[in-house]
């Protein structure tokens, strides 16, 4: 996914090092080198960003990425819970930090939005909601398409729209 001449990749890290387990987004320069103006500074800790950001507060599997008009990165996917899958949508700043002007204030509940939203159609039953694609429209609104499985057997097309 391009952001200017950059390449963004979303995926999963499981390196055996607890600090590096979780959902991750990487940004590469057009040359294929990790973008050292992006992400955190964990590996190595040399005061230079490492080109990627890791999110490990809970398990989230990314399935789609988009970049909005401000260079912010939307990452959609799903998380695995005891009662099925729930749709997740993250927003990261252009420099690769969770965007604390986006989402709800749940984890931690500290008066600051957490940079992500989780959608669970009915928390009282086992059901599945999965994002498959994310798109930013001409007004900056975020469209997520995916599947919702409410009956346990049949999947239904779902479209969510979020304000920026």
Residue 120, Ramachandran bin (φ over 0: left; ψ between -120 and 50: alpha; else beta): beta
Residue 46 within binding range of Ca ion, rule CB under 5 A: yes
Contact set for Ca ion, span 107-146 (CB under 5 A) = 110, 112, 114, 120, 127
Total residues at the site for Ca ion (CB under 5 A)? 12
Residue 57 within binding range of Ca ion, rule CB under 5 A: no
162: helix, coil or strand? strand
119 beta partners = 87
Helix-strand-coil percent breakdown of the chain, rounded to 5?
A: 0, 50, 50
Residue 149 within binding range of Ca ion, rule CB under 5 A: no
Contact set for Ca ion, span 1-40 (CB under 5 A) = none
- Footprint of Ca ion (CB under 5 A): 41, 46, 48, 50, 84, 86, 105, 110, 112, 114, 120, 127
């Amino acid at each position: 996914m391009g952001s200017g001449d950059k390449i963004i990749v979303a995926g999963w890290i499981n390196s055996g090092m607890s600090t590096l387990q979780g959902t991750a987004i990487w940004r590469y320069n057009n040359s294929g080198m990790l973008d050292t103006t992006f992400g955190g500074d964990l590996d190595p800790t040399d005061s230079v960003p490492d080109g990627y950001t890791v999110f490990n507060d809970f398990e989230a599997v990314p399935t789609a990425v988009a970049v909005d008009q401000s260079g912010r990165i939307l990452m959609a996917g799903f998380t695995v819970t005891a009662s099925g899958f729930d749709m997740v949508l993250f927003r990261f700043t252009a420099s690769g930090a969770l965007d604390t002007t986006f989402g709800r204030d749940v984890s931690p509940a500290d008066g600051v939005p957490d940079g992500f939203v989780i959608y669970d159609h009915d928390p009282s039953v086992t059901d599945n909601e999965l994002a498959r694609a994310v798109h930013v429209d001409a007004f900056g609104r975020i469209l997520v398409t995916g599947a919702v499985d409410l009956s346990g057997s049949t999947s239904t097309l779902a479209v969510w729209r979020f304000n920026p």
